[in-house]
Structure 1
Amino acid sequence: MFAATPGRVQPIPPEDTPARPTAAGALTRRRDAEFDEPTSAAAVPALRREWEAAWRVLFDLLDELTPDDLLRTVAIRGEEHAVLAAVQRQVAHYAYHVGQLVQLAKSIRGEDFRFLSIPRGQSEQFNQQMAGRR
């Protein structure tokens, strides 16, 4: 997600992941390859390992952050950000992808899709239920 701070351990992803840390601790990517679909069911486990390894890197980094780290400056693709802003940027990015996944799931499942919140057309009913709990 962002460059390592001096004197801190940077988690290193396994060799088969597309992101690789540079000597400065920044992660380099093969971004275009991240959009390649598995060519067979046999390729899915490797994709799952990459997925899990990427989340491990993120959570390891977040676990090691101190309050002072949040105000440090880091570079993302050459652009300077405070660590806190970088984390917020990444959370917004994940939310964007969650929305894409929900839209895809709705498209695939059609009428069988189970809404994550209030289904369309049921807001008023929900609001009345909530008002009745007061």
Structure 2
Amino acid sequence: MGFTKMQEGLVKESWEVLKQDIPHFTLRFFSLILEIAPGAKNMFSFVRESEEIPQNNPKLKAHAIKVFKMTCESAIQLREKGEVVVADTTLKYLSTVHVKSGVKDPHFEVVKEALLRTIEEVIREEKWNEEMNNT
């Protein structure tokens, strides 16, 4: 399930570009999660009742930014340190929330795919090539 070395490097290289417009890219990232796995919408109270992704929903924006940053930073840590370092309190909180929401391993594959697609969109014209597409 983890990132390949090429994928980890791609995340790290693109992170500087992504940080330039986090609100835009995080909403795109979250939109892709729901596009890939529409059923995941029911896991998020702030979009559960909506027919579309509310671009001005402050709860959605805040959550998407947290998930996006943590995903990118985790990929970078994996590449640099071989592991992800998270404070115990954060880890306990995240595990409680994810278990309560019914998150399973396949959901993390969706997050990975959404992140890679977001990165592809950001760097498509500059660096994206067939080799990166096959990672």
Regarding TM over 0.5, the answer is no
Higher-strand-fraction structure: 1
Q: Could you tell me the TM-score, scaled by structure 1's length?
A: 0.29
Pick 1 or 2: higher relative contact order, CA cutoff 8 A, min separation 6. 2
Kindly name which structure, 1 or 2, has the bigger radius of gyration based on alpha carbons: 1
